[in-house]
Amino acid sequence: MTPPPPPPLPQPRPADALGGRLIVSCQAPPGDPMRHTGTLVRMAMAAEAGGAAAVRVNDPEVVAATVAAVGLPVIGLWKDGDTGVYITPGVRHALALVEAGAAVVAADATARPRPDGSTFAELVAAVHAAGAQVMADVSTLAEGREAAARGADLVSTTLSGYVPGSPRQTAPDLALVAELAAAIDVPVVAEGRIATPAQAAEALAAGAASVVVGTAITAPTALTRLFAEALPR
Ligand SMILES: CC(=O)N[C@H](C=O)[C@@H](O)[C@H](O)[C@H](O)COP(=O)(O)O
């Protein structure tokens, strides 16, 4: 008799699978020629080919198309608006991303009120009940502690420099990465303004579990502008 097949090995949870590795944010702002689902999917495929461990993708439609094309965990967000809480601002946004296939939902976890009156804890509970994980996008140490206490699976420095009271900087906020890594048990993700491979490595050395890079890899319009502006006319 043939012995029964061994039980399947447990699949790593996304937060575990991302440890020490690169996450590529494949997004384009409104009005940008790259804001096109097929183009964004191609960027995600290029990130996979280049060795990324996961991709971070905006909008349920793009999430679904990326999940269909790429074998990496997809971290989904839904930017709705551009002021106040706009990164996955409500429970309905979060659940639409899980429905589209996101393994992780990234959501604003700053201390600001959410437009639908929900709490970050409610969003976490809803996403967990639907079988996915939550990446909390924060701007301060206090917000990171709070997000971890409310059940976030990952805490990312995404919003440092982008909310009132968090001064805009040109460099990544590696001080916040180090503070968070020392203060919480949840994996800390370094995100925002990481422009070079050396800075990505510095972020890991500062205590990040993994690193998100967006503009420096996937934003040709912004990168072209940098070069164009450096040339005198
Ligand atoms: C503040 C905000 O809305 N950040 C967004 C979050 O998803 C994206 O626009 C950023 O590109 C992403 O965080 C990666 O950062 P960078 O492009 O600097 O590598």
Name the residue ranges covered by the structural domains of the chain.
18-230
The pLDDT assigned to 219 comes to 98
DSSP 24: E
* Cα→Cα distances 213→16, 182, 196, 198, 202, Å: 19, 22, 9, 12, 13
Q: Residue 108 phi/psi, 5° resolution?
A: -55, 125
Dihedral (C-alpha) 123, 124, 128, 130: value to the nearest 10 degrees? 10
Q: Whose CA is nearest to atom 6 of ligand 1?
A: 158
Q: Whose CA is nearest to atom 11 of ligand 1?
A: 214
Could you read off the pLDDT of 204-233 as tens digits, one per residue?
999 999 999 999 999 999 999 999 999 987
CB 180 within 8 A of CB 207: yes
Q: Which of 23, 27, 174 to mutate to test the pocket of ligand 1 (most atoms within 8 A of CB)?
A: 27
Nearest CA, atom 12, ligand 1: 214
User: Which pLDDT score, from 0 to 100, does residue 1 have?
Assistant: 61
Instruction: Tell me the C-alpha distance between 215 and 18, whole Å.
Output: 20
Q: Contact 77/57 with Cβ under 8 angstroms? A: yes
- pLDDT in the model for residue 87: 98
Q: What is the pTM assigned to this prediction?
A: 0.95
pLDDT of residue 233: 75
In the structure, which protein residues have their CB atom closer than 6 angstroms to any atom of ligand 1?
25, 27, 77, 158-159, 162, 191-194, 212-216
Tell which atom from ligand 1 comes closest to the C-alpha of 106: 7
* ipTM of the prediction greater than 0.95, yes or no: yes
pLDDT at 105 over 80: yes
pLDDT digits (tens, 9 = 90+) for 183-212: 999 999 999 999 999 999 999 999 999 999
Tokens of 106: 């990234």
- Position 11 pLDDT exceeds 70: no
Q: What is the mean pLDDT of residues 17-22?
A: 90
Instruction: Give the residue, out of 22, 23, 25, with the most ligand 1 atoms within 8 A of its beta carbon, to mutate for a pocket test.
Output: 25
Structure confidence by residue, pLDDT tens digits, 51-92:
999 999 999 999 999 999 999 999 999 999 989 999 999 999
Report pLDDT for 8.
67
- What is the CATH topology of the domain spanning 18-230? TIM Barrel (3.20.20)
Contact by Cβ (8 Å): 172, 129: no
Q: 2 falls in which pLDDT band (50, 70, 90)?
A: confident
Q: pLDDT digits over 133-183, tens only?
A: 999 999 999 999 999 999 999 999 999 999 998 888 899 999 999 999 999
* pLDDT-based confidence at residue 26 (cuts at 50, 70, 90): very high
Phi-psi bin for 59: left (phi > 0), alpha (psi -120 to 50), beta?
Answer: left
